[in-house]
Amino acid sequence: MPVLDVNLMLAPSLPGVGLDPARLNGAMAERFREVYDDIEGRRAKGEIGFFDLPWASDTARRVQEMANSFGQCFENVVVLGIGGSGLGAATLRDALLDPGWNERDEEGRDYLPRLYVLDNPDPATVGPLLDRLDLRRTLFNVVSKSGSTAETMALYLVIRERLSALVGEDKVRGHFIFTTDPVQGALRRIADAEGIPTLPVPSNVGGRFSVLSPVGLWPAAMTGVAIDDLLAGAGAMEVRCRTHELAENPAGLLATLLHHAATEGGMPIHVLMPYGDRLCSFALWFQQLWGESLGKAVDRSGVAVHTGPTPLSAVGATDQHSQLQLFMEGPRDKVVIFLAVEDQGEPLAIPALHADTAELGYLGGHTLGELLDVERLATTEALRQAGRPSMTVELERVDAPALGALFMLFQIATVYAGALYGVDPLDQPGVELSKRITHGLLGREGFSAPSIGNADPRWRV
């Protein structure tokens, strides 16, 4: 079970800048009880579905069975999904599968399929991928809760035609599985009409909270991830957060401290910095979750607020040679959330070569795993000495239970943070305008195109 360490947000460890623990134990703990009750209330009304996903064992069984049923028929699985429909699958792949999975031969993948996520209608990506894959041995998972996401539908149409030309129209349906709303939408209707297998996205689970639904579970199951372990980890964290005592609720502490930093501490930029490449995609998943949930124009009573923290992703040790300079010396507007991994697996010994060369000699006898962790400790301490707050989520190792717990921890923190900001963390009204304009520009019935492009040529240089 991951541990959240918030000492470096607090005055005893970060004198002058950190928060007084008495305040955290006092007014902020009181406020958190209200937040907790608010969220429990919405949950009881059935508005927030992700809390219950770890316990949806029927769904998990169905996902696993459907994954098993494909056996080894396919050597490639391609997820067509954008935003929350793609990020979860990519995060699970990059964290839990052997690195370079798609470059490995069948044996190196334990005879499991490659996994691609097409999350962009970029012809420069899509064309070459379709040319390269043996489409006869490729299964496409079209993921769209609404069943009408323009980018995903466009990809579906392009691929469907290619498949049809290759395997014949009657066999096309065998290459698709749709993950969509259980009752409505275009994908649902097509699936019903053509007998394409489907998996449901529960109606009270939005895209960015869907990684533990079939949206993330099915691609994971297809590539051999133990989805029961993933859900068990998520469930354990969900249980862990069933308390209105702030000091005992890790999601509560995460939300409360980051909300306070953003709104009172002048630190609205929240950096997620895992140490280790496998969690890079998790940081991108967090960016969507935190940014899209909390970045809102109006509060829940409709008053204009234009609020929300800006999430930023980084990766250690790499970003010590990129973004760290700004984090250390720039404006005091950031909190860094480190993800630490205790057991790195095979640590890789650094040999004592060039022992007489001062710049290299001291490295011999250590391991790469040790170096990576020492760099994390050093960066944490350097930030502390510079008076810059941070917190750390410590994982024992990067495995399915830890990932499940991490997803749940950050999801719960996000809805708590929504309550603290006073906004609805479950909607995303700000993305509708560009969708409408896109529809207008493409000539969709009922949408109009604005006039664009009376740019002054003098300001085109």
Residues 294-323 that bind a copy of itself (CB under 8 A): 294-297, 306-308, 310, 312, 315-318, 320-323
- Provide CB contacts within 8 A for 413, sequence distance 6+: 250, 251, 252, 254, 255, 258
Q: Does 369 bind a copy of itself (CB under 8 A)?
A: yes
In this structure, are residues 454 and 446 in contact, taking their beta carbons and an 8 Å threshold?
no
Using the structure block, give the residue that is written with the tokens 């007084």.
20
Active site residue 245: no
Upper half-sphere CA count for residue 40 (Cβ side, 13 Å): 12
Q: Does 442 bind a copy of itself (CB under 8 A)?
A: yes
Measure the CA–CA gap between 309 and 291, rounded to whole angstroms. Answer: 7
Q: How far is the CB of 184 from a copy of itself (least distance, A)?
A: 11
Q: Which of 34, 239, 435, 448 binds a copy of itself (CB under 8 A)?
A: 435
Footprint (CB under 8 A) of a copy of itself, residues 35-64: none
Upper half-sphere CA count for residue 117 (Cβ side, 13 Å): 22
Tokens representing 204? 């009270």
Q: Which of 68, 203, 385, 448 binds a copy of itself (CB under 8 A)?
A: 385
CA-wise closest residue to 77 among 202, 225, 181: 225
Q: How far is the CB of 104 from a copy of itself (least distance, A)?
A: 7
Residue 335 — φ and ψ, nearest 5°?
-120, 135
Measure the CA–CA gap between 335 and 72, rounded to whole angstroms. Answer: 46
Footprint (CB under 8 A) of a copy of itself, residues 193-222: 207-208
Residue 178 DSSP class: E
Q: How far is the CB of 155 from a copy of itself (least distance, A)?
A: 8
Footprint (CB under 8 A) of a copy of itself, residues 93-132: 98-100, 102-104, 108, 119-129, 132
Active site residue 321: yes
Footprint (CB under 8 A) of a copy of itself, residues 231-250: 247-250
Q: How far is the CB of 51 from a copy of itself (least distance, A)?
A: 19
User: 230 or 372, CB closer to a copy of itself?
Assistant: 372
Q: Which of 15, 65, 386, 396 binds a copy of itself (CB under 8 A)?
A: 386
Q: How far is the CB of 281 from a copy of itself (least distance, A)?
A: 12
Tokens representing 444? 């969709």
Tell me which of 161, 171, 342, 435 is the catalytic residue.
435
- Provide CB contacts within 8 A for 175, sequence distance 6+: 135, 138, 139, 140, 163, 167
What would you report as the CA-atom Rg of the chain, rounded to the nearest whole angstrom? 24
Footprint (CB under 8 A) of a copy of itself, residues 155-194: 155-158, 160-161, 185-186, 189-190
Active site residue 381: no
Q: How far is the CB of 62 from a copy of itself (least distance, A)?
A: 26
Q: Which residues are catalytic?
A: 292, 321, 435
